[in-house]
A and B are shown apart, each in its own frame.
Chain A
């Protein structure tokens, strides 16, 4: 019994000792295997954590989408729809026709259509997006001259709307140049029957419109004000201030427009313009003669928002200064001298809307002439406009013009303008 107990004690003591060596080898192996397993486990953990993260994000996104969708209110009553459906698509341009009808009573005998009715002008306008980057606009004018009807392109241009420089826009085609305010307006959009004398005397009957290129840029400023700088280069074919139909050079123009909201009802716009180009009439007699025009325009508008349908005021003013370098001939063939003819012109117009469809206006014009600063005319106009609707108005205007170089004239117009179709909206 004693021997058995001793044996057991010895076994308990020695077997672990004897096993140590073998276990040592096994432990090392196990540790090695454990390390491998640990590494594999870590690798799997990282991989699954990444996958779980992706799934969680996906679930989150789905939850967001589901939540917004779940919040969509149910429409109880179905919408009425036309047979055309909720939207209609059209690749045709917006097409409009505007007619300008007048009766012109005047004591000036040389006036065509004196004391007669006249369909003075019909404008055909086409406007549409050309592609995602640009829009196109065309304005044709149908007019009668010397008993013949003529159709001409007043404006036709492509406006590039998505240029890479922020604030930049460009235009190519034929357009009314950016000089002052009134030159850009079409006949039907004038607040008067006729263009101011400044425009007709320095640019021609309907102002200056030429093929060319134009770029305008909204100048960044700390006040976030609308300050637009426009630069234009156009053909030199204007025969009144510049070279005329024989011109082969270009006219360069610049315009700076600054706009300010005085308050929610009142605004003021201040502009300055510059135009310069050769006035070489193409006869080759001289080459360095230039015309330079400078302009200033100031427009104040008032329209109280709550009564805006019934009351408004527009006070619009422009000045133009001309330096026209011109040869001075003896008998019409030999140049004696070149002279700089400085002249100027301007107008001031006040229009008051006193009811929803009624307004009255008064305009004063002063004008010299590009080639003769000693010739002057002062004109006084007044009139009343009845806007039958947004698309048709009637206007009565009286104008007295005093001249120091010719007979004075008295004129009266009755005008009716009416339009069909969606015409492109006019600038403010």
Chain B
């Protein structure tokens, strides 16, 4: 009996010792959060991501190997707004890591304080509306101003977990914000000539980007979020695009291009396939790279459309 008690004490002690580390082990659900965390945390964090930037973040399988990653994490970070509803709980429960349970210091929903769009205002929300998110559209990271709030939330939590490095995180946060402000000026300059320009989108990932840069969404190829395009709906999209002279269809890298190419072929429009997440393409290797890719490709497409 005494040996059992000693063994249990040792096991508990070792668990405690393992937690007191210089480098915070962070597991994020998306590569966008990974990129921002690396910018804020620098050498004081080691970050991994469950989803890859080129996969649909709604459908990430709760693989046992992900549970092992979560088991070793000091901080589990999510986009929130039910983006991870399909796998978050399975991974946290399967990891058996008490530090990262919802409500603990090791769990961070970075959406706190971000400016949300498409928060339903109707009294009834149900699945007849498609794959709706009842707390708002979760793709908020595509607005750089929201990313500054996300970065702030991350800096705050990292500082709580590692108070000795709070000044370091704060310094990185200030540098990150400055970089975003500089790039915003650059992105605004590229997009200002196209303010008010109408685009078609495949899935409702883009409202935040569109809102920030003054574009307008004329129509969506998905009849409702998460529902693949039907021939009847594509006909409606073609009619709208012809009527409103929409020359660009913006879509993510992980959707089937065929419906979009069909529509574009009918009216001489251009399909712009871009990542909506860091890591979605080689160029989008961090958050700045992601936004550079989207802005540059759109600007190029608009310029090309204007010349035609």
Contact = CB atoms under 8 A, between A and B. Distances in A.
B188 to A, nearest CB: 14
A309 B72 contact: no
Contacts of A267: 63, 65
A307 B167 contact: no
A356 B228 contact: yes
Nearest to B122: A82
A347 to B, nearest CB: 22
Contacts of B62: 425, 427-428
Given A264-B52, A427-B90, A75 B149 contact: yes
A306 B51 CA distance: 11
A76 interface: yes
B59 interface: yes
Interface in A245-277: 257, 259-261, 264, 267, 269
Contacts of B63: 259, 261, 267, 428
A69 to B, nearest CB: 9
A306 B177 contact: no
A267 B61 CA distance: 11
Instruction: Report which residue of B67, B159, B170, B226 has the largest number of chain A beta carbons within 10 angstroms of its beta carbon.
Output: B170
A218 B90 contact: no
B56 A226 contact: no
Given A79-B115, A264-B52, A305-B55, A226 B64 contact: yes
B159 A73 contact: no
Contacts of A77: 115
B61 A68 contact: no
A76 B256 contact: no
B148 interface: yes
B141 to A, nearest CB: 14
A310 interface: yes
Contacts of B304: none
Contacts of A422: 85
A161 B93 contact: yes
Interface in A71-89: 71-73, 75-83, 86-87
A73 B227 contact: no
A83 B134 CA distance: 12
Interface in B157-186: 159, 163, 166-167, 169-170, 173-174, 177
Contact of A64 (B89, B136, B167): B167
A164 B8 contact: yes
A423 to B, nearest CB: 11
B52 A67 contact: no
A184 interface: no
Interface in A57-73: 64, 67-68, 71-73
A175 to B, nearest CB: 15
Nearest to A221: B68
B201 to A, nearest CB: 17
Contacts of A76: 115, 145
A167 B173 contact: no
B52 A162 contact: no
B152 A72 contact: yes
B167 A167 contact: no
A15 to B, nearest CB: 66
B11 A165 contact: yes
**Size category, B interface:** 35 or more
Contacts of B163: 64
B290 to A, nearest CB: 16
A306 B149 contact: no
Interface in B169-217: 169-170, 173-174, 177
Nearest to A425: B90
A80 B72 contact: no
Contacts of A257: 64
B135 interface: yes
B255 interface: yes
Contacts of B15: 166
B169 to A, nearest CB: 8
A308 B56 contact: yes
Contact of B174 (A71, A75, A310): A71
A257 B12 CA distance: 25
A186 interface: no
Nearest to B170: A67
B55 A308 contact: yes
B149 A73 contact: yes
Contacts of A72: 149, 152
Interface in B83-105: 85-87, 89-90, 93, 96, 98, 101, 103
Instruction: Report which residue of A78, A168, A261 has the largest number of chain B beta carbons within 10 angstroms of its beta carbon.
Output: A261
Contacts of B101: 132, 161-162
A135 to B, nearest CB: 7
B152 A71 contact: yes
B135 to A, nearest CB: 7
B211 to A, nearest CB: 9
A221 to B, nearest CB: 10
B96 A309 contact: no
A147 to B, nearest CB: 34
Contacts of B170: 64, 67-68, 71
Contacts of B166: 64, 68
A391 interface: yes
Contacts of B270: none
A307 B103 CA distance: 35
Contacts of B118: 80
A224 interface: yes
A389 interface: yes
Nearest to A220: B71
Contacts of B56: 308-309
Given A356-B228, A428-B63, A71 B177 contact: yes
28 contacts: A64-B159, A64-B170, A68-B152, A68-B170, A71-B173, A71-B177, A72-B149, A73-B177, A79-B114, A80-B116, A82-B119, A135-B93, A162-B101, A164-B8, A165-B11, A218-B68, A224-B68, A259-B63, A260-B65, A267-B63, A306-B254, A309-B254, A309-B256, A356-B256, A389-B127, A389-B227, A425-B86, A428-B62
Given A79-B115, A305-B55, 4 more contacts: A71-B170, A78-B115, A80-B116, A226-B65
A-B residue pairs, 7 tightest by C-beta:
A226-B64, A305-B55, A259-B64, A73-B148, A80-B119, A306-B54, A64-B166
